[in-house]
Structures are given as structure tokens and as C-alpha cells.
């Protein structure tokens, strides 16, 4: 990654991919990581779920367990970002709170937690891409529960509510085409003075267009 010298010192670039499940966040985050050489923070929820040796559908039968899961995902996301001293692209941010609103009883406690306000202020200082859902991207993957279109739309609405509630500036990404997603991100990063990697062997935007869009 090459940055413009005019960028404010001490303020590393932070990029977030937020939205419901099945919107292609992970695919876009990986492309950005490879194209720009920016470290990527992978989805922490999967790691927490694996450690608990549970599946989401089984979690929801135990409210105490799902509360612990959502609280841990929230804390782990904050820790993952704070552990990166430089720029990063994060596959998700506060998105688990949208699921907490639907499937747990812990959201009120999290909203009273001083860390939430501090974290959302932190997110406001980054570049937030809000990936919107499309019916063609809703495919079961054996990990996520709620891969019904109505559920995706509900979570999408809750993510938007959180963005607006905390006054987080965002760029909506509504196009299904990876080409158009790539061009939007390239233009935004160009405007803030970030250039892609262009050494031999680096992934080019054109290469990403040949890759199928995964539903993450």
C-alpha cells in the first residue's frame, strides 16, 4: 500500500466491511487485502463459535449461551482491531450487535457499556462500506443460521439503524457485480490518497473480477 504524504500522521487507515450475512463482505475484504497490501482482520464470530464448539442454530436454544457468545464476539472484535498498530481492513465491525438484537437478551447491557460508544467513535474515524443484500447471494453454507431472505433483510435494517444511530458515515454498496464494487472501492481509496500495490505478481483488480463472489 502506498499513501499520499498529505495524510494525517498517526492516523492509520481503517476500512470496514459491514452488513448482513450473505452480502459478499469477506470476498471484498480479501480482494482489498490482496490488491492494496492492507492487513485483514478476519471475521471473529467464526473463531468464537469454533472455540465454543457450537453451531448458531443450537446456540439459540440456550439464551445464556447465546448471550455469552454475542458478548465475546463484541469484545473480541474490539481487541482484534486494537491489536493492529497500522492500517487494516476488517471483515465486519459492530455487525454482531444486529444479531444480538434478534437472538439474545444482552443488547441493553452492551448499550450501557462505555466501550460501545468509544468503539463506535473509533469506527467513525474509518472508511465504512455498507454492503447491501441481494437475493442471489443468499446461499446456505452450513455455518450461519437464518439464511432466509427475510432474515437477511432484517439484519440489514438493524445494521443501518446502528450506523445512523451512532452517526457513522458510510458508503452503501448495492451493486451485485464485483466489477462495480471494485471500481467504487478503488475510487474512494484513490480520493483519500491510497494507491494499490503494483509490483509483479500482485493481484490486479482485473484478476478479482474473474473470481466468483462468495456470500459472506
Which domains does the chain possess?
12-208 (3.40.50.300)
pLDDT by residue (tens digit) across 187-210? 999 999 999 986 544 444 444 434
Residue 80: what pLDDT?
97
Under-70 pLDDT residues of the chain: 1-11, 139-147, 198-216
Burial bucket for residue 172 (CB in 10 Å: 0-12, 13-18, 19+): middle
Residue 198: what pLDDT?
64
Q: How far apart are CA 110 and CA 70, in angstroms?
A: 10
Residue 203: what pLDDT?
44
Q: ∠ CA(211), CA(155), CA(182), 5° rounding?
A: 25
| Beta strand spans in the chain (E) | 2-3, 14-19, 40-41, 88-91, 127-131, 171-173, 194-195
Task: Decide: helix, strand or coil at residue 124.
Answer: helix
Residue 211: what pLDDT?
45
Task: Decide: helix, strand or coil at residue 19.
Answer: strand
Instruction: Give 186's DSSP letter.
Output: H
Cell matching residue 109: 447491557
Residue 197: what pLDDT?
85
Cell matching residue 78: 474490539
Query: What is the DSSP secondary-structure string of 66-93?
Result: HHHHHHHHHHHHHHHHHT--S-EEEE-S
Residue 59: what pLDDT?
77
State the pTM of this model. Answer: 0.84
Residue 215: what pLDDT?
53
Amino acid at each position: 500500500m502506498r499513501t499520499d504524504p498529505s495524510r494525517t500522521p498517526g492516523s492509520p487507515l481503517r476500512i470496514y466491511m459491514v452488513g448482513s450475512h450473505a452480502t459478499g463482505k469477506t470476498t471484498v475484504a480479501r480482494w482489498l487485502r490482496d490488491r492494496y497490501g492492507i492487513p485483514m482482520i478476519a471475521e471473529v464470530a467464526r473463531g468464537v463459535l469454533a472455540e465454543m464448539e457450537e453451531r448458531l442454530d443450537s446456540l439459540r436454544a440456550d439464551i445464556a449461551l447465546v448471550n455469552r457468545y454475542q458478548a465475546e464476539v463484541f469484545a473480541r472484535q474490539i481487541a482484534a482491531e486494537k491489536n493492529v498498530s497500522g492500517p487494516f481492513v476488517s471483515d465486519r465491525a459492530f455487525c454482531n450487535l444486529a444479531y444480538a438484537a434478534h437472538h439474545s437478551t444482552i443488547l441493553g447491557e452492551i448499550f450501557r457499556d462505555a466501550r460501545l460508544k468509544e468503539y463506535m467513535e473509533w469506527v467513525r474515524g474509518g472508511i465504512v462500506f455498507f454492503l447491501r443484500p441481494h437475493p442471489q447471494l443468499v446461499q446456505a453454507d452450513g455455518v450461519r443460521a437464518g439464511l432466509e431472505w427475510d432474515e437477511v433483510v432484517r439484519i440489514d435494517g438493524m445494521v443501518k439503524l446502528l450506523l445512523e444511530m451512532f452517526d457513522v458515515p458510510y458508503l452503501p454498496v448495492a451493486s451485485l457485480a464485483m466489477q462495480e464494487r471494485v471500481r467504487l472501492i478503488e475510487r474512494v481509496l484513490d480520493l483519500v490518497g491510497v494507491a494499490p500495490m503494483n509490483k509483479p505478481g500482485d493481484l490486479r483488480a482485473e484478476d478479482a473480477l474473474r473470481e466468483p463472489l462468495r456470500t459472506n
